[in-house]
């Protein structure tokens, strides 16, 4: 049962982003079909969604598998084709969204980001490959400090990079930043889910007229009907303090939600859209007064 | 030369606050007088100021010693009396400011603070001793994480305490806080110097109508004539990343400056004053239109 081990891999993963894990998930679903276990597809999809309840693309892929099973359970070959085409579409959308975001980087820019986003890394790499000259300001991003990895990767590409504490970033935003660029964990109707710290940074910049951009493909949009599976994960308390004494409670949030009102633009596969246009397209929000 | 070893102690101190170090400094100055080295007092004062260039009370005490030397160099006994009375006044002012700040804590409050401030700790201890019931939300406060110590001390007093990451505090401010209470490193005309993170937290709360308070005695007010000695210290880059690679620059600020415009009140020895009244009294700023 190859699909079982692939599922376990996803369940135990704490490192990779959705763009990697969706490939593993698709591989698992295809293995399941190949092993003639079509009837287990709904259970597989449910487990996939519960394994990574903060990752919108995984939830959407699970919901897609459930819907496909309803439609095509009699035809394994058609199901297989749908899955392959879904993942192909996902890859193409991701690539296009990164290219669109690259247009946001200009010569001489000083770009602020937060934590580690493979999308942001790719966008900056593309801009660098086009010969654009810019600098990047990174946060260390507690508690896991993924920002160190991003800063090392960027500086390794020859990009002048600055790394500061999470609280240190605010005066850099105020004094130096041209723009802020973040990845996305999920687009909700109420705001954009990303690593904790994104929302205060975005609000701080928004209040000062510094443009805030997000980059993601539309597979990160979480429709209302999938929201039941969605959960904002928190971290373990040991990441902040081992064995807290009585009367001391550790609060270790991993995510926060940035309101669309402080966002200048969202780069998805169809281009860079303003927040109102995005809300209308993604959630059917009527933004005409 | 006892004064020399006391001076060295201050020069090498990275842990204690000004309220402790000023006692050591005074002890040093008195030892110097006792050893008959009055002529070395100006040099002593200058070294004291350079040893802790971010601590307003130390700078003020150094400036006081320089002025006293000018006036009373012929009379060691008078000098001695002045120093003793200065430190006595300092202690009393500090005590009174803490008592005044205690009035800001009310039953049922959820108080946000940041990093470690011995003044904030004392204020909350006083409120606890008066039988007030309240909770405290603490940050870990990178890079040195002094917030852990405050959280442990508070919870040890039986106060229900929450500890979160620096970026995690913003949603707690938004969702739960009654007020914010910070210590002070220095009052400048342009704003209040405190641990990095204080300014974004205060601005965030101020924008949401949550009252922001600072507690300090007036010995933390830095007059213009002492500003030449003042310097905002930064931390070592190793505190964030050992051996940064090429193209990667570490920015490790220890302090930031909160504008008076987001402050609701400042508890000093004479009472709790609003920011405009404080600016007028401390710096002669004319705030009448």
Task: Say yes or no for a CB contact (<8 Å) between A155 and B248.
Answer: yes
CA-nearest of A35, A37, A33, A16 to A83 is A33
For residue A177, give the CATH number of its domain. 3.40.50.10470
pLDDT, one tens digit per residue, over A213-267 is 999 999 999 999 899 999 998 999 999 999 999 999 999 999 999 999 999 999 9
ipTM of the complex: 0.93
- Would residue A112 count as lying in a domain? yes
Interface of A with B (CB under 8 A): 140-143, 148, 151-152, 154-156, 158-168, 170-172, 196-197, 199-200, 203-204, 207, 240-241, 244-253, 256
Residue B17 pLDDT level (bands cut at 50, 70, 90): confident
pLDDT, one tens digit per residue, over A121-178 is 999 999 999 999 999 999 999 999 999 999 999 999 999 999 999 999 999 999 999 9
In angstroms, the CA A156 to CA B245 distance is 8
Q: Which residues of A touch B174 (CB under 8 A)?
A: none
Asked if pLDDT for residue A101 goes beyond 80, the answer is yes
pLDDT > 90 fraction of chain A, expressed in percent and rounded: 92
Q: What is the mean pLDDT of chain A?
A: 95
Q: What is the mean pLDDT of chain B?
A: 95
What range does the domain containing B206 cover? Answer: 104-283
- Would residue A288 count as lying in a domain? no
In angstroms, the CA A114 to CA A182 distance is 7
Q: Are residues B93 and B178 in the same domain?
A: no
- Could you tell me which residues come within 8 angstroms of residue B214 by beta carbon, excluding any fewer than 6 positions away? B181, B182, B183, B184, B192, B194, B258, B263, B265, B266, B267
Q: Which residues of A touch B247 (CB under 8 A)?
A: 154-156, 158-161
Q: Are residues B165 and B123 in the same domain?
A: yes
Interval B60-84 mean pLDDT = 94
In angstroms, the CA B188 to CA B260 distance is 10
Asked if pLDDT for residue A109 goes beyond 90, the answer is yes
Asked if pLDDT for residue B220 goes beyond 70, the answer is yes
Instruction: Show which of B97, B126, B156 is a domain's final residue.
Output: B97
Q: Are residues B119 and B258 in the same domain?
A: yes
- Could you tell me which residues come within 8 angstroms of residue B172 by beta carbon, excluding any fewer than 6 positions away? A251, B112, B137, B162, B164
Q: Are residues B116 and B88 in the same domain?
A: no
Instruction: Show which of A48, A77, A97 is a domain's final residue.
Output: A97
Asked if pLDDT for residue B289 goes beyond 70, the answer is no
Task: Say yes or no for a CB contact (<8 Å) between B163 and A204.
Answer: no
Interval B215-239 mean pLDDT = 94
User: How many distinct structural domains can be found in chain A?
Assistant: 2
Q: Which residues of A touch B245 (CB under 8 A)?
A: 152, 155-156
Buried b (16+ CB within 10 A) or exposed e, B188-214: beebbbbbbbbbbbbbbbbeeebebbb
Asked if pLDDT for residue B126 goes beyond 90, the answer is yes
Question: Phi-psi category of B105—alpha, beta or left, where left has phi over 0 and alpha has psi -120 to 50?
Answer: beta
* The residue to which tokens 């259970």 are assigned: A43
* The residue to which tokens 């400056």 are assigned: B257
In angstroms, the CA A87 to CA A23 distance is 7
Compare A44 and A1 and report the one with higher pLDDT.
A44
Task: Say yes or no for a CB contact (<8 Å) between A163 and B199.
Answer: no
For residue A15, give the CATH number of its domain. 1.20.120.420
pLDDT, one tens digit per residue, over B253-283 is 999 999 999 999 999 999 999 999 999 999 9
pLDDT > 90 fraction of chain B, expressed in percent and rounded: 92
Asked if pLDDT for residue A1 goes beyond 80, the answer is no
Q: What is the pLDDT of residue A289?
A: 60
Asked if pLDDT for residue A74 goes beyond 90, the answer is no
B191-195 sheet: strands from edge to edge: B186-188, B191-195, B255-258
Interval B118-133 mean pLDDT = 97
Task: Say yes or no for a CB contact (<8 Å) between A159 and B249.
Answer: no
Q: Are residues A194 and A257 in the same domain?
A: yes
Asked if pLDDT for residue B26 goes beyond 80, the answer is yes
Interval A10-39 mean pLDDT = 93
């Amino acid at each position: 049962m190859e699909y079982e081990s692939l599922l376990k891999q996803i369940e135990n993963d704490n490192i990779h982003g959705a763009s990697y894990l969706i490939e593993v998930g698709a591989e698992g679903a295809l293995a399941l079909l190949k092993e003639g276990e079509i009837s287990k597809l709904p259970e597989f999809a449910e487990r996939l969604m519960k394994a990574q309840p903060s990752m919108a693309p995984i939830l959407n892929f699970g919901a897609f598998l459930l819907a496909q099973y309803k439609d095509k359970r009699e035809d394994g070959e058609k199901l297989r084709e749908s899955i392959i085409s879904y993942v192909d579409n996902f890859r193409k959308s991701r690539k296009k969204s990164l290219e669109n975001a690259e247009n946001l980087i200009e010569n001489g820019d000083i770009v602020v980001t937060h934590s580690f986003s493979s999308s942001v890394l790719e966008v900056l790499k593309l801009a660098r490959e086009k010969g654009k000259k810019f600098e990047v300001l990174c946060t260390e991003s507690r508690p896991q400090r993924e920002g160190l990895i991003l800063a090392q990767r960027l500086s390794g590409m020859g990009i002048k990079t600055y790394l500061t504490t999470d609280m240190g970033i605010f005066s850099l935003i105020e004094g130096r930043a041209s723009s802020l660029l973040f990845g996305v964990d999920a687009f909700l109707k109420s705001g954009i889910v990303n690593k904790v710290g994104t929302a205060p940074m975005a609000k701080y910049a928004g209040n000062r007229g510094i443009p805030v951009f997000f980059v993601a493909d539309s597979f990160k949009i979480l429709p209302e009907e999938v929201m039941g599976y969605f959960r904002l994960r928190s971290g373990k308390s040991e990441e902040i303090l081992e064995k807290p004494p009585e009367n001391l409670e550790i609060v270790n949030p991993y995510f926060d939600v940035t309101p669309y009102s402080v966002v200048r633009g969202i780069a998805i596969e169809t281009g860079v859209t303003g927040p109102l246009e995005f809300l209308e397209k993604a959630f059917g929000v009527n933004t005409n007064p």
